[in-house]
Amino acid sequence: MIILVSFLAAGYTRSTMDVLVIDDESSVGTLLRFNLRQRGFDVETAASAAQGYAKARTRRFDLVILDVALPGIDGIEACSMLKKLEGYGEIPIIMISSRSDSVTIEQARRAGASDYLVKPFTFQQLFDRIEDQLSRPYFV
């Protein structure tokens, strides 16, 4: 039997939601961590795809916010790698970038991104996207 539920309907609250932010700009990571924690999320940050992937292998996150432009492995490849990790196939990944071209956005979608937000954005815009992703049904 296949059951569809959302993270929020499954009893998760913001205080139990673990978010991984992967962005090489430390100011962006710090700002996102601060604002997400203010909203009740538990947040970890990583400055590279490799660091984020290592964290994801040792801890299950409920949501990933991932920059496209990263040193070494870029965000598109990192998204694809994360989606292949056990337990991450249904985890929402919101990609963020200053790139607004349709080719990059389509590459992100094909890699498994759940959403794509163009920088600069307000925290409220990001938070609305997070709420939308966490309220969507997934298979259990």
- pLDDT value at residue 16: 72
Would you list the domain boundaries of the chain?
Answer: 21-133
Spell out where the chain has E strands: 4-6, 18-22, 42-46, 63-67, 93-97, 115-118, 137-139
| Count of positions (residues) in the chain | 140
CATH code for residues 21-133: 3.40.50.2300
Global pTM value: 0.88
58: Cβ–Cβ under 8 A, 6 or more apart, which residues?
Answer: none
CA distances from 69 to 9, 55, 100, 119, 133 (A): 33, 19, 12, 12, 22
Confidence of residue 111 (pLDDT cuts 50, 70, 90): very high
Cα gap 121→70, rounded to integer Å: 18
Res. 115 pLDDT band, cuts 50 70 90: very high
Residue 65: both structure tokens together = 């916010």
**How far is CA 4 from each of CA 1, 90, 136, 139, rounded to the nearest angstrom?**
10, 11, 9, 5
pLDDT in tens, 11-42: 445 457 999 999 999 999 999 999 999 999 99
pLDDT in tens, 35-72: 999 999 999 999 999 999 999 999 999 999 999 999 99
Which residues make Cβ contacts (< 8 Å) with residue 71, sequence separation at least 6? Answer: 24, 48
Report pLDDT for 125.
96
